[in-house]
Amino acid sequence: MTPPLGALLATPLSVVTAGVDLFPEALRAQGVTVQPVDWRPPAFGDPQDLAAVAADPRRFPANRVATERILAAGAELVNVRPAADALELDRDLFLHAGPPIEFGNASGPLRGALIGAALFEGLAADPAEAVAMLDSGQIRLEPCHHHRAVGPMAGVTTASMWVSELRDPINGGRAYCSLNEGLGKVLRYGAYSAEVIDRLHWMGEVLGPVLAAAVAKSGPVDIKSILAQMLQMGDEGHNRNRAGSLMFLRDLAPGIAGSDAPAGQVADVLAFIGGNEHFFLNYGMPAAKLALDAARDIPASTVVVAMARNGTDFGIQTSGTGDAWFTGPAQTPDGLFLGGYGPDDANPDIGDSAIMETLGVGGFSMAAAPAIVRFVGGTVPDALATTRRMYGITVTENPAYAIPVLEFRGAPTGIDVLSVARTGILPQINTGMAGRVAGTGQVGAGLVKPPQECFEKALAALADRSRLHR
């Protein structure tokens, strides 16, 4: 099939070049027709794996189906009730953020939150007893994600905590998340002092029941609609939830006031929600999980359906690889610190909240929230550039989550493992920072990326499946 070299040189040359400009320039100088192609070598990944995944004819339609389901998904808050009920959680089973982990490998904030939860549940009388029960396996640990739930930061969710239940009216799923405690000294950042445990009791005795009554009275709250409007109001839905929290308050305030709770409790609940500009995060996260769960288990799809961190490992899951986690060491965020804290105080990345970026909001939609640079660091042009960069590793754009300053372009949606490997662009995550010492609480907020390793492993697993299918 190869033409003889003589024939090649006897006809006018027409050359396609890739790489440095020197080649096409040298050829043009010799009067040769040149078509330069902007091709770059893949940034990482085994070449055989890249080729196997790229050549799989099922990939394109599979990713289309996956992202269509993400875009179509709805999210309504339909109930608030104890996790024992909603998730059928036994008292000795503690859920946590991120991929699976044993207590012995847990970092400070996860240890602190687990200790606090054991105290809150009345399983242990003091931190030492809690540690003993956790160490011995008397208290068992499983990821939230394995129970259709998500939890911010340590994400520790136990039987007596009240959780919200969200329903996807389109794809039919359910997802769950705990109630947000506010900032500072809170369980999810690893604090477990008396004020933390007392607040959790108040949340179980007053906040949860009042919210449940308000939802029953007002009817389902359209969480997807609030997320969409947030992006028009300077929130990105992960580290900035100001407008979202206010809209949630607006939607439920009449139902809260109309509940049978005493006037003092009504005023306390309104003040608690109104005083916590992150309150909505715990509704945005299960809304994102609903959309991404709808995109699971599509053979050959290279779309990421979960990114989550337990404070030690960063893990991702893809649509085409079932329940497998692909993990690497969690990085420490770079950002701004509260009070006297500094980089040495920060724990590595933790929490299920990277589900927001997996959906295409959070760090992916930073352009919608330029004011966030005052909270996570960086500059306004960085924020705009970050969103533009994320279009390079995503399959589609979500018109429901339109970014006004980008002329209403939809949020970059459907992270493609193959595009990440080809470009070397890693997903950008906005996140809170927990103190690395158990019991500290929040120390700051910043920017972080997953380790490349997660995507290398996911690519290899996807390649194995593509080879098996061939």
Instruction: Return the H-helix or E-strand segment holding 33.
Output: strand 33-37
- Classify strands 162-167 and 174-178 as parallel, antiparallel or unpaired: antiparallel
Instruction: Based on the shown chain and the rule CB under 8 A, indicate whether residue 211 belongs to the binding site for a second copy.
Output: no
**Taking the CA of residue 19 as centre, how many other CA atoms within 13 Å lie in the half-sphere pointing to its CB?**
4
Instruction: Based on the shown chain and the rule CB under 8 A, indicate whether residue 137 belongs to the binding site for a second copy.
Output: no
Instruction: Based on the shown chain and the rule CB under 8 A, indicate whether residue 404 belongs to the binding site for a second copy.
Output: yes
Instruction: Based on the shown chain and the rule CB under 8 A, indicate whether residue 216 belongs to the binding site for a second copy.
Output: no
Q: In the set 76, 235, 357, 416, which binds a second copy (CB under 8 A)?
A: 235
Instruction: Based on the shown chain and the rule CB under 8 A, indicate whether residue 271 belongs to the binding site for a second copy.
Output: yes
Q: Which is closer to a second copy, CB of 141 or CB of 243?
A: 243
CA nearest neighbour of 300 among 414, 425, 468, 456: 468
From 66-74, 280-288, 400-408, 457-465, span contacting a second copy (CB under 8 A): 400-408
Burial class of residue 42, CB neighbours in 10 A (0-12, 13-18, 19+): middle
Q: In the set 27, 51, 270, 425, which binds a second copy (CB under 8 A)?
A: 270
Instruction: Based on the shown chain and the rule CB under 8 A, indicate whether residue 65 belongs to the binding site for a second copy.
Output: no
Instruction: Based on the shown chain and the rule CB under 8 A, indicate whether residue 355 belongs to the binding site for a second copy.
Output: no
Q: Are 245 and 183 within 8 A, CB to CB?
A: no
In 439-465, which positions are buried (b, 16+ CB within 10 angstroms) versus exposed (e)?
A: bbbbbbbbbbbbbbebbbbbbbbbbeb
**Taking the CA of residue 64 as centre, how many other CA atoms within 13 Å lie in the half-sphere pointing to its CB?**
5
Instruction: Based on the shown chain and the rule CB under 8 A, indicate whether residue 267 belongs to the binding site for a second copy.
Output: yes
To a second copy, the closest distance from the beta carbon of 386 in angstroms equals 14
Instruction: Based on the shown chain and the rule CB under 8 A, indicate whether residue 60 belongs to the binding site for a second copy.
Output: no
Which residues share a beta bridge with 334?
447
Q: Which of residues 273-292 bind a second copy (CB under 8 A)?
A: 274
Q: Are 415 and 354 within 8 A, CB to CB?
A: no
From 10-18, 151-159, 253-261, 326-334, span contacting a second copy (CB under 8 A): 253-261
Instruction: Based on the shown chain and the rule CB under 8 A, indicate whether residue 233 belongs to the binding site for a second copy.
Output: yes
Q: Which is closer to a second copy, CB of 40 or CB of 374?
A: 374
Give the whole-angstrom CA distance, residue 289 versus residue 61. 22
Instruction: Based on the shown chain and the rule CB under 8 A, indicate whether residue 257 belongs to the binding site for a second copy.
Output: yes
To a second copy, the closest distance from the beta carbon of 224 in angstroms equals 17
From 15-23, 36-44, 194-202, 365-373, span contacting a second copy (CB under 8 A): 365-373
CA nearest neighbour of 152 among 348, 393, 354: 354
Instruction: Based on the shown chain and the rule CB under 8 A, indicate whether residue 379 belongs to the binding site for a second copy.
Output: yes
Which residues, at least 6 apart from 432, have a Cβ–Cβ distance to it below 8 Å?
A: 152, 153, 189, 239, 351, 353, 442, 444, 445
Chain residues binding a second copy by CB under 8 A are: 229, 232-235, 242-243, 246-247, 249-251, 253-258, 263-264, 266-268, 270-271, 274, 370-371, 373-374, 379-381, 404-408
